[in-house]
Structure 1
Amino acid sequence: MTDADRDDARPTVPPSLAAAVAGYAWARDTIGASGGAVFRLHGKAGAPNLYLKHGRDAVADAITEEAARLNWLAAHLPVPAVVKFRRTPHEAFLLMTALPGRTAYQVLVAEPDARPDVIDALAAFLRRLHAIPVSDCPFVAGHAQRLAVARARIDAGLVDVGDFDEERQGWTAEDVWDGLQALLPLAADPVVTHGDFSLDNLIVEGGEVVGCIDVGRAGIADRYQDLAILWNCLHEFGPALQDRLFQSYGIARPDRRKLRFHLMLDELF
């Protein structure tokens, strides 16, 4: 048993959340986690399953950003509903409803024959997201903003070079930075993006995408911010499905320069 599995790994929730989490069994969850700790709350008779995110300091800031985006996105897309949110000077607690279904990754692994239909469903959901009017979105997440954050992460030594994709194994963070600069400037094509549109963050049930999670990076950015991450996730399932993603989304000739740029940028987060 790891520390993450033990009861004492649970955070001490503030009084304002105590009643909402009472009576639940807790299980540590790592799918879709983007820093901090995520717990699945389940097993309470007559009550829906919930998720609790908890983090301190910089992670608390990220959870605060996610809570704001969940509240805004709820009017446009199926996302977890915020049940309770509590922020203290050093901690954040975000209690959310659980979406029904499995992650897109789980479905692709378990149901090989359904893979083309799943890709079509993912592309349809992405089109729906990208169709949200940019003028309605209060969050900016374009590559200029992300490059500034990436530079700060490099300077602080926060980039995990051991987690780089295979084609960039052996690179330093500065190598990635230099590669990004060589691909600039990029023609802007702003839409409302998820920011981390990966197979683990998309929930599927009955052959449809019923929602997305981990929306803390959502905001106005180039559409390839989402396309590149999803395209890269599909690598292990073969180039035919990668090609189908763009065909189903409605792009006949993918912009390889933008793909390279956004995949390199993602290495720094």
Structure 2
Amino acid sequence: MHTFEIYEEYYDWAPLEGDSEARVHLLTYGGEDPPNMYQPQEPLIAKSYIDDVRRTRREYKRLLWMELNKINGVPKPVTLYEEAGAYMFYLALPGMDAENFLQAQVPEFIVSTLKQIGRYLSYLHKQEIKECPFVYSEDDVHTDLVFSHGDFKLSNVIVNENYITGSVDMIGIGIRDRYFDLAAMTLDIERVLGGEYLEYFYEGYRIKDHVNQEKMDQFIQLVEA
């Protein structure tokens, strides 16, 4: 029995909704016997860009690179299956996406979670970029280069009760200006929660009192383009 048949046979597949262009399922082990070394007991995510095998490979390659470089708070890859199409499998981060989580919370929980999201992004941005092969900073506006998520919005941040477990949809990771991710999350917080909550995200990132508004506006235009 090959890898994909194992997942089909022993795991229950539940489709996950979202704005991703990929087909995504949550897999939970449903076999009668205890799983072996090829059958992780933890919940898994199966993800496939159905019409673009290269995109599935590309995201899996980035997960492997982050795993090899010991970057925490991101999905841990398990395997890539390729035949008619391709599926990547990774361990599911515990929790739910921050967009749905925050819309059901009282203001004090929103405030504390946004501060944590800011701290998490600051952690990502502090990762070593010297050996990072994924570069997206050819444009002259990218002057303060960091390790960037590339699609940093609430639906891609995972919250488990009251703490951040990580982020998903990592196909766009690479070297960019820090304001690319800051602008993306700024737009999303304004859309989902309202502009009055931005200061708490900035506080977590530690730029509350010194946001470069000219640069923020420039990158908001870039993100929206």
TM-score (norm 2): 0.84
SS, match of residue 49 in structure 2: strand
Deviation at 1:237, TM superposition (A): 1.5
Judge which range, 62-71 or 247-256, deviates more.
Answer: 247-256
Q: Does 1:71 align with 2:64?
A: yes
Indicate how the Cα distance of structure 1 residues 187 and 61 shifts in structure 2: closer, same or farther if over 3 A, else same: closer
Find the counterpart in structure 2 of residue 221 from structure 1. 176
Who is 1:237 aligned against? 193
CA distance change for structure 1 residues 248 and 36 in 2, over 3 Å: closer, same or farther?
A: closer
What is the rounded CA distance, in whole Å, between the counterparts of 2:105 and 2:205 in structure 1?
22
Supply the distance in 2 between the matched residues of 1:143 and 1:34 (Cα, whole angstroms): 26
2:116 & 2:44 partners in 1: Cα distance? Answer: 25
Mark the CA change 1:122 to 1:48 in structure 2 (over 3 Å): closer, same or farther: same
1:248 aligned partner, one-letter code: G
Listed one character per residue, the Cα deviations across residues 207-234 of structure 1 (whole Å, up to 9, x for unaligned) are 2211111100000101011111111111
**2:20 aligned to which of 34, 43, 59:** 34
Matched, 1:199 2:186: no
Deviation at 1:260, TM superposition (A): 3.1
Structural mapping, 1:113-262, within 5 Å: 113-142=108-137, 144=139, 185-186=140-141, 188-235=143-190, 236-251=192-207, 252-262=209-219
Please tell me the residue identity of whatever aligns with 1:22. Answer: E
| 2:183 and 2:223 in contact (8 A); partners too | no
Q: Quote how far apart the aligned CAs of 1:198 are.
A: 0.8
Residues 187 and 73 of structure 1, relative CA distance in 2, 3 Å threshold: closer
Measured on the aligned residues, the alpha-carbon RMSD in Å equals 2.2
- AA aligned to 1:102 is M
1:36 partner amino acid? A
More strand by share: 2
TM-score under structure 1 normalisation? 0.71
Unmatched 5+ residue regions in structure 2? 35-40
Query: In structure 2, what is the Cα distance between the partners aligned to 1:261 and 1:68?
Result: 31
Which residue identity is paired with 1:262?
F
Where structure 1 has 5 or more consecutive residues not aligned to the other structure, the ranges are 1-13, 145-184
Deviation at 1:203, TM superposition (A): 0.8
Shift in Å, 1:190: 0.3
Q: Match for residue 44 of structure 1?
A: 30
Which amino acid in 2 is paired with 1:16? Answer: T
The separation in 1 between residues aligned to 2:131 and 2:72, in whole angstroms, is 13
- Encode CA deviations 1:104-152: one digit per residue, 9 max, x unaligned: 11221122230111011101111110010111322112263xxxxxxxx
Change (3 A) 1:255 1:143: farther
Q: For residues 190-209 of structure 1, what are the alpha-carbon distances to aligned partners after superposition, in whole Å with 9 as ceiling and x for unaligned? A: 00010011111111124221
- By relative contact order (CA 8 Å, sep 6+), the higher-ranking structure is 1
Structure ranking higher in helix proportion = 1
**Matched length:** 212
> Aligned partners of 1:206 and 1:55: how far apart in 2?
30
